[in-house]
């Protein structure tokens, strides 16, 4: 059985579950998106995640989370939902190491004052185990996180897009702040090397948080 056949079979097996997810999200986004739009996003999200998912049992839960985040991003980019905080997107190739570490560290440093997402131009099936270990040393559990494909909606919703070795795969839109952080890919590296990468990312994150929050405070003062 080919990978495409397996994905199709899995989609058929989960059709009822996906319809229930679609209904929940349609209720959540009522007045913003039509039920048909929500359902399309749910099924697209499932198919995208199923291509690389290692354990299919988690697919319905990750699909609902991923589709919800994409719909929220789409609503933000269209102005249907107003974001009260800056939105940052981290992008690397596999979304299994650098971007996941950056997102987790920014969540800690920002304390809810910044919205954080991460994605991969070619997402892996799971997070790098050495990355999980290095982050757990800081008391951060990334075991429930999962690699997500890069989608146009999350780029459009972001105020700041930070790439980490994904080349030109990230679309460019006017009015956004783009940065490229040159960081060693942790894939296949020793724990010692991953710790160094983690700490370098942490230093950059602290600088980013200070910059974003200072800008936000200046805008609030001028308003």
pLDDT value, residue 7? 44
Q: Give the mean pLDDT of 167-189.
A: 86
Q: Considering only CA atoms, which of 63, 86, 77, 89 is closest in space to residue 32? A: 77
Question: pTM for the complete prediction?
Answer: 0.88
Mean pLDDT, the chain, whole residue set: 89
pLDDT per residue over 34-46, tens digit each?
A: 999 999 999 999 9
Q: How far, in Å, CA of 153 to CA of 156, rounded?
A: 5
Indicate if the pLDDT at residue 8 is higher than 50.
no
């Amino acid at each position: 059985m080919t990978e495409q056949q397996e994905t199709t079979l899995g989609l058929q097996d989960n059709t009822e579950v996906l319809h229930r997810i679609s209904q929940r999200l349609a209720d959540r986004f009522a007045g913003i998106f039509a039920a048909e739009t929500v359902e399309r996003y749910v099924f697209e999200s499932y198919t995208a995640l199923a291509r690389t998912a290692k354990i299919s049992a988690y697919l319905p839960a990750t699909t609902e989370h991923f589709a919800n985040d994409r719909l929220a991003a789409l609503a933000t980019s269209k102005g249907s939902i107003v974001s009260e905080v800056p939105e940052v997107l981290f992008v690397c190739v596999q979304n299994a190491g650098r971007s996941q570490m950056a997102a987790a560290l920014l969540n800690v440093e920002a304390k809810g004052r910044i919205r954080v997402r991460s994605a991969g131009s070619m997402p892996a099936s799971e997070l790098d185990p050495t990355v999980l270990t290095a982050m757990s040393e800081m008391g951060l559990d990334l075991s429930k996180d999962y690699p997500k494909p890069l989608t146009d909606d999350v780029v459009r919703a972001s105020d700041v897009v930070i790439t980490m070795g994904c080349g030109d795969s990230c679309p460019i839109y006017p009015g956004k702040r783009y940065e490229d952080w040159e960081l060693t890919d942790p894939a296949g590296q020793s724990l010692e090397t991953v710790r160094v990468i983690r700490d370098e990312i942490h230093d950059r994150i602290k600088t980013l948080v200070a910059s974003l929050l200072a800008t936000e405070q200046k805008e609030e003062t001028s308003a």
